[in-house]
């Protein structure tokens, strides 16, 4: 389709506007990046905008000084991959069930599920539950509590409902089982929304550290984010009475770390792997050719 002159002008305006947004949106990450490569003590002075003033790799060195980070990275990857696959699969499945307007338990199950988003019994009963299920300090405490998400189910359900109903109906007439329909029709049709949910789940799983903190503090199960939290927390020792050599050292030594510089370096370390996921998912964000699914 050829674009008219008016279209091109509009395109120009949109592109200009988008460029402004891109600058505003990339700046925080860019600033974090340069802070991470700037000498920590020099960063205290502030005024770092576009380029490091005093290059230093020390912030990164302090993160990678032990091999704990690499083990934690593996744990993070496994929990993220596993949780994402399972959560997307199960959320989609339940969404499919609830997308049947005539399903007898539709109302009940929807309300039952939606309420889980708004009620919270608190941490202590949760801990007791996980303990009685034998999940404390096991890998499964990362997986089992997030097998399905109410929010995701609703979003997928809404998407399914916006698809032409005739598709599902025709499959039923063919006598296909529910699971078969889910696999062969719903999943391919829902790829854009499933990709979105996958992104949500993956990012959530990747970023979470709180479950390690409360339910799996064991070193072998430590995740990347939890390791990062540990390093930052340990750098925030001001206010605690310190052994004198530290006070002396911070005055004299060439290298020092501050919570801010570590946080910047860690944000880069933790974000780059997950940031790469999106461009891969982006290819599913295209209109699915409905005709092709039917074949």
Site for other proteins in 234-263 (CB under 8 A): 234-245, 247-258, 260, 263
Read off the tokens for 10.
């509009």
Considering the rule CB under 8 A, would residue 220 count as an interface residue with other proteins? no
Considering the rule CB under 8 A, would residue 10 count as an interface residue with other proteins? yes
Q: Minimum CB separation from other proteins for residue 295, in Å? A: 18
Considering the rule CB under 8 A, would residue 282 count as an interface residue with other proteins? yes
Q: Minimum CB separation from other proteins for residue 187, in Å? A: 14
| 24 or 173: CB nearest other proteins | 24
Considering the rule CB under 8 A, would residue 275 count as an interface residue with other proteins? yes
Within residues 156-175, the interface with other proteins by CB under 8 A covers: 158-159, 161-163
* Among the listed residues 74, 85, 147, 165, the single contact to other proteins using CB under 8 A: 147
Q: Minimum CB separation from other proteins for residue 74, in Å? A: 18
Within residues 94-133, the interface with other proteins by CB under 8 A covers: 94, 97, 100, 102-105, 107, 109-129, 131
- Compute how many residues bind other proteins; rule: CB under 8 A: 135
Considering the rule CB under 8 A, would residue 192 count as an interface residue with other proteins? yes
| 3-state DSSP of the chain | CCCCHHHHHHHHHHHHHHHHHHHHHHHHHHHHHHHHCECHHHHHCCCCCCCCCCECCHHHHHHCCCCHHHHHHHHHHHHHHHHHHHHHHHHHHHHHHHCCCCCCCHHHHHHHHHHHHHCCCCHHHHHHHHHHCCCCCCCHHHHHHHCCCHHHHHHHHHHHHCCCHHHHHHHHHCCCCHHHHHHHHHHHHCHHHHHHHHHHHHHHHHHCCHHHHHHCCCHHHCCHHHHHHHHHHHHCCCCCCCCHHHHHHHHHCCCCCCHHHHHHHHHHHHHHHHHCHHHHHHHHCCCCCHHHHHC
Considering the rule CB under 8 A, would residue 224 count as an interface residue with other proteins? no
Q: Tell me which stretch binds other proteins (CB under 8 A): 69-77, 79-87, 233-241.
A: 233-241
Considering the rule CB under 8 A, would residue 17 count as an interface residue with other proteins? yes
Considering the rule CB under 8 A, would residue 292 count as an interface residue with other proteins? no
| 104 or 295: CB nearest other proteins | 104
């Amino acid at each position: 389709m050829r674009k008219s002159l008016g279209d091109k002008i509009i395109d120009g305006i949109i592109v200009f506007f988008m460029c402004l947004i891109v600058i505003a949106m990339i700046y925080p990450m860019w600033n974090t990046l340069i802070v991470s490569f700037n000498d920590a003590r020099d960063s205290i002075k502030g005024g770092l905008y576009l380029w490091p003033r005093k290059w230093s790799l020390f912030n990164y060195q302090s993160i990678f000084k032990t091999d704990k980070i690499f083990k934690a990275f593996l744990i993070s990857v496994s929990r993220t991959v596993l949780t994402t696959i399972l959560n997307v699969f199960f959320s989609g499945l339940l969404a499919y069930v609830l997308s049947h307007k005539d399903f007898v338990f539709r109302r009940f199950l929807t309300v039952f599920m939606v309420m889980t988003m708004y009620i919270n019994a608190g941490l202590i009963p949760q801990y007791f539950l996980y303990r009685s299920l034998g999940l404390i300090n096991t890998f499964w405490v990362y997986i089992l509590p997030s097998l399905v998400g109410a929010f995701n189910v609703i979003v997928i359900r809404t998407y399914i409902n916006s698809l032409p109903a005739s598709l599902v109906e025709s499959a039923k007439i063919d006598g296909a089982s529910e699971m078969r329909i889910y696999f062969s029709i719903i999943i391919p049709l829902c790829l854009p929304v499933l990709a979105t949910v996958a992104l949500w789940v993956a990012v959530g799983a990747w970023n979470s550290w709180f479950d390690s903190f409360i339910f799996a503090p064991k070193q072998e199960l430590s995740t990347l984010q939890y390791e990062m939290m540990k390093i930052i927390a340990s750098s925030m020792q001001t206010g605690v009475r310190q052994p004198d050599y530290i006070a002396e050292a911070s005055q004299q030594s060439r290298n020092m770390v501050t919570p801010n510089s570590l946080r910047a370096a860690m944000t880069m370390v933790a974000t780059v792997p997950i940031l790469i996921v999106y461009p891969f998912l982006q290819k599913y964000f295209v209109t699915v050719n409905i005709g092709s699914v039917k074949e």
